[in-house]
């Protein structure tokens, strides 16, 4: 579904060339939920922009559905860290945007949007503008906006990091519920290890920048999971300890570097 | 939020006095509805007070001017409110030295509106195109800076030679003034479009033109509308200066003529007419802005405080 071979991305910056990620090997099958964790600012998001085709890789190969990525591949959905809902459109027209862009008639696009608005629990808010909604509700709009296109590859860049803890737990549950059975391959980037373990089948730990993959862990927790309760089980704590041992060093390195120029 | 706090405070004082005077037994038992009603009366009273103070200020200003012109300063140079009023009434009843006042107003308005419409359209289109194309904007940057550095009013003289004394030369002057005001805002607006929104639209399946129409244009709209307010003022300036430089009709000509015969009252009267026109246009633009920017959160502090 998603394959990266020795993918490397460099940016030209004021101080020369900055390598965001190097030699990343990763493959995600359909229906698989992979979380990528790493210290803040290490280049996790760059991985997503390579898969989405928003940025070309400097080196290595990136394949989606077995084809090299040139431009935005079919079936990709991407939820950004910051709100990307259109402030000048109502909830309904925000969610209908994807189908409209893809040439669906206004009527049908709105029907599909209404369906998804109900599924993310926002029925009754179709006519609201984003500024009238809470942060959690805006995330639901963004989620519906992404899912209405029925992506087979779902990329998520710390989508819930701006939410308070209770809302985040709720959204994690919603995400698992909506994703289950969809068969979509998910790459979920986060710096929150707990979130990664609650959601994913596999957790990939990245090194401090320039980021590459340090280790991969399989999460031995049964589905369906309840996001609030699963974190209290002994199995969860065991795997948490194991992954944290690996992640801790990288966080430490980033902290030491960052003391001069605080992130 | 100091303004907020002040409103709340003054509302509170008024409420308290209203309570004390009118309804000593009202406190408590009416609850919510009474509180809302009281807040509304407080708001009304506040608006009334503001307008009363404004009227007093105008009366003091005009009164002292009139008084000074009658006793101390020479009304030949400085004119006085009663003379200006007489001149205005005369223009509207007997017509002006150039013919009917309505004709002058209509000519100036037509020039300003035509210059405004053309300049705004040109500025928006070019601003958005250059704002979205790095290459074109880099190519054009020095030229635009150079043209912008020209004192554009001088172009009015050139336009008279090119287009003659008729309306075209005034429309051209208004056009250049409006164009640059709108262009720079549209350019900035198109450039500052949130990358996140563009990327999101692309992922959702938007092509280049769809990104332009559904993301760039709406994002730039608030920038553009902000510039349109000052741009209409520029359009009127352009039309008047054009007429002033050489014309056969219009308010600018009227003012120029008043200057020629040392008629200070005539200049003031022309100024007042132009001000009223500009305020009317401003009001219309605010209505338009309200319609186009319905999605924006309302400005804090406009709610009535309870």
Per-residue pLDDT tens digits for A203-239 = 999 988 788 899 999 999 888 888 888 989 999 999 9
The Cα B258–Cα A20 span in angstroms is 71
Indicate the range of A170-174, A259-263, B81-85 predicted with least confidence. A259-263
Tell me which residue range forms the domain holding B121: 83-292
B191 lies in the same domain as B254: yes
Distance from CA of A129 to the nearest CA of B (A): 6
Q: Per the structure, how many domains does chain B have?
A: 2
Kindly indicate the confidence band of residue B298, based on its pLDDT and cuts at 50, 70 and 90: low
Substitution target from A86, A109, A143, A159 for chain B, most B beta carbons within 10 A: A86
Considering only CA atoms, which of B20, B22, B24, B40 is closest in space to residue B32? B40
The percentage of residues in chain B with a pLDDT greater than 90, rounded to a whole number, is 52
Q: Which parts of A30-80 are beta strand (E)?
A: 33-37, 59-64, 67-68, 76-79
Task: Identify whether B301 is part of a domain.
Answer: no
- Coil, strand, or helix at residue A124? coil
- What pLDDT is recorded for position A15? 76
Task: Identify whether B274 is part of a domain.
Answer: yes
B89 lies in the same domain as B68: no
Considering only CA atoms, which of B184, B205, B186, B203 is closest in space to residue B195? B203
Residue B47 half-sphere exposure toward CB, CA atoms < 13 A = 7
Name the most confidently modeled range: A10-14, A192-196, B6-10.
A192-196
Q: Mean per-residue pLDDT for B77-90?
A: 90
pTM of the model as a whole: 0.78
Mean pLDDT of chain A: 90
- What pLDDT is recorded for position A229? 87
B114 lies in the same domain as B159: yes
B96 lies in the same domain as B137: yes
Per-residue pLDDT at B165 exceeds 80: yes
Which three-class secondary structure string do you get for A158-185? CCCCCCCHHHHHHHHHHHHHHHCCCCCE
Identify the contact set of chain A against chain B, taking CB-CB distances under 8 A: 52, 54, 72, 76-78, 80, 82-84, 86-89, 97-98, 101-102, 129, 131-132, 145-146, 149
Domains and CATH numbers, chain A: 2-75+152-258 (3.40.50.300), 83-150 (no CATH)
- Put simply, whether B217 touches A (Cβ < 8 Å) is no
Phi, psi of A233 (to 5 degrees): -80, 150
Angle B264-292/B101-132 helices, nearest 10 degrees? 40
- What pLDDT is recorded for position A149? 93
Per-residue pLDDT tens digits for A35-75 = 999 887 778 889 999 999 999 999 999 999 989 999 899 99
Q: Say which residues have a Cβ less than 8 Å from residue A5's Cβ, sequence separation at least 6.
A: A25, A60, A61, A62, A63
Joined together, the tokens standing for residue B124 give 């928006």
Distance from CA of A78 to the nearest CA of B (A): 7
Kindly indicate the confidence band of residue A83, based on its pLDDT and cuts at 50, 70 and 90: confident
Q: Are A95 and A145 in contact (CB under 8 A)?
A: yes
Per-residue pLDDT at B19 exceeds 50: no
Q: What single string gives the DSSP state of each residue in B100-114?
A: -HHHHHHHHHHHHHH
B39 lies in the same domain as B102: no
Edge-to-edge strands of the sheet including A67-68? A16-28, A2-13, A59-64, A67-68
Per-residue pLDDT tens digits for A138-190 = 999 999 999 999 999 999 999 998 888 888 999 999 999 999 888 899 999 99
Task: Identify whether B305 is part of a domain.
Answer: no
Q: What length is written for chain A?
A: 263
Per-residue pLDDT at B272 exceeds 50: yes
Angle B251-260/B264-292 helices, nearest 10 degrees? 160
Per-residue pLDDT at B201 exceeds 70: yes
- Put simply, whether B210 touches A (Cβ < 8 Å) is yes
Kindly indicate the confidence band of residue A261, based on its pLDDT and cuts at 50, 70 and 90: low
The Cα A120–Cα A198 span in angstroms is 20
B148 lies in the same domain as B287: yes
Contact A97 B204 (CB under 8 A): yes
Per-residue pLDDT at A78 exceeds 80: yes
The β-bridge relationship of strands A213-218 and A59-64 is unpaired
Contact B296 A87 (CB under 8 A): yes
Per-residue pLDDT at B5 exceeds 70: no
Task: Identify whether B304 is part of a domain.
Answer: no
Dihedral (C-alpha) A163, A164, A166, A172: value to the nearest 10 degrees?
20
Of B28, B55, B73, which closes a domain? B73
What's the ipTM?
0.89
Task: Identify whether B273 is part of a domain.
Answer: yes
Per-residue pLDDT at B301 exceeds 70: no
The Cα A47–Cα A59 span in angstroms is 13
- Could you say which of B200, B206, B297 has the minimum Cβ distance to residue A84? B200
The Cα A147–Cα A145 span in angstroms is 6
Distance from CA of B214 to the nearest CA of A (A): 9
Contact B203 A78 (CB under 8 A): yes
Higher-pLDDT residue of B305 and B108 is B108
Contact A80 B201 (CB under 8 A): no
Per-residue pLDDT at A260 exceeds 60: no
Of B73, B105, B124, which closes a domain? B73
Per-residue pLDDT at B305 exceeds 80: no
Task: Identify whether B300 is part of a domain.
Answer: no
Mean pLDDT of chain B: 85
The Cα B41–Cα B14 span in angstroms is 9
Q: Are A182 and A146 in contact (CB under 8 A)?
A: no
Of B16, B43, B73, which closes a domain? B73
- Put simply, whether B197 touches A (Cβ < 8 Å) is yes
- Put simply, whether B204 touches A (Cβ < 8 Å) is yes
Q: Mean per-residue pLDDT for B156-167?
A: 90
- What pLDDT is recorded for position B274? 93
Per-residue pLDDT tens digits for A102-126 = 999 999 999 999 999 999 999 999 9
In B, which residues are within 8 Å of A146 by CB distance? 204
- What pLDDT is recorded for position B159? 92
Kindly indicate the confidence band of residue B29, based on its pLDDT and cuts at 50, 70 and 90: low
């Amino acid at each position: 579904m998603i394959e990266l071979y020795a993918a490397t991305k460099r940016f030209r910056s004021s101080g020369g060339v900055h390598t965001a990620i190097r030699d990343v090997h990763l493959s995600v099958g359909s229906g698989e939920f992979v979380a990528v964790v790493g210290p803040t600012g290490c280049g996790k998001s760059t991985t997503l922009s390579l898969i989405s085709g928003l940025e070309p890789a400097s080196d290595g190969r990136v394949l989606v559905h077995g084809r090299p990525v040139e431009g935005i591949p079919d079936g990709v959905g991407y939820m950004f860290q910051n709100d990307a809902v259109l402030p000048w459109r109502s909830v309904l027209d925000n969610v209908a945007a994807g189908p409209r862009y893809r040439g669906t008639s206004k009527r049908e696009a709105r029907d599909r949007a209404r369906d998804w608005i109900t599924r993310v629990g926002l029925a009754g808010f179709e006519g609201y503008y984003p500024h009238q909604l809470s942060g959690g509700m805006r995330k639901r709009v963004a989620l519906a906006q992404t899912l209405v296109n029925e992506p087979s590859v779902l990329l998520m860049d710390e989508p819930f990091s701006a939410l308070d803890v209770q809302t985040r737990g709720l959204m994690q549950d919603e995400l698992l519920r909506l994703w289950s059975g969809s068969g979509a391959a998910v790459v979920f980037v986060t710096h929150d290890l707990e979130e990664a373990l609650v959601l994913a089948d596999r957790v990939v730990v990245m090194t401090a920048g320039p980021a590459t993959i340090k280790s991969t862990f399989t999460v031995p927790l049964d589905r369906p999971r309840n996001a609030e309760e699963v974190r209290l089980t002994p199995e969860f704590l065991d795997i948490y300890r194991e992954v944290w041992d690996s992640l801790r060093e990288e966080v430490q390195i980033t902290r030491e570097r960052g003391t001069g120029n605080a992130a | 939020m100091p303004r907020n706090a002040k409103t709340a405070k003054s509302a509170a004082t008024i409420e308290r006095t209203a309570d004390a005077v009118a309804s000593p037994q009202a406190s408590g038992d009416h609850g919510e509805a009474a509180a809302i009603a009281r807040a509304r009366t407080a708001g009304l009273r506040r608006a009334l007070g503001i307008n009363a103070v404004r009227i007093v200020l105008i009366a003091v200003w005009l009164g002292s001017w009139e008084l000074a012109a009658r006793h101390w300063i020479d009304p030949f140079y400085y004119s006085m409110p009663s003379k200006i009023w007489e001149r205005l009434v005369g223009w509207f009843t007997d017509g002006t030295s150039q013919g009917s006042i309505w004709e002058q107003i209509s000519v100036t308005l037509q020039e300003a509106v035509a210059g405004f419409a053309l300049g705004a359209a040109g500025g928006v289109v070019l601003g958005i195109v250059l704002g979205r194309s790095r290459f074109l904007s880099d190519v054009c940057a020095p030229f635009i800076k150079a043209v912008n550095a020209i004192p554009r009013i001088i172009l009015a003289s050139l336009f008279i030679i090119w287009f003659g004394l008729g309306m075209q030369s005034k429309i051209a002057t208004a056009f250049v003034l409006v164009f640059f005001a709108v262009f720079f805002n549209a350019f900035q607006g198109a450039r500052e479009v949130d990358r996140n929104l563009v990327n999101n639209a692309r992922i959702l399946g938007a092509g280049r033109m769809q990104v332009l129409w559904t993301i760039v244009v709406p994002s730039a709209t608030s920038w553009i509308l902000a510039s349109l307010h000052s741009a209409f003022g520029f359009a009127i300036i352009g039309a008047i200066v054009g007429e002033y430089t050489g014309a056969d009709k219009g308010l600018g000509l009227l003012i120029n003529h008043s200057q020629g015969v040392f008629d200070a009252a005539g200049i003031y009267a022309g100024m007042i007419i132009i001000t009223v026109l500009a305020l009317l246009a401003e009001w219309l633009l605010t209505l338009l802005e309200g319609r186009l920017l319905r999605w924006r959160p309302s400005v804090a502090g406009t709610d009535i405080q309870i």
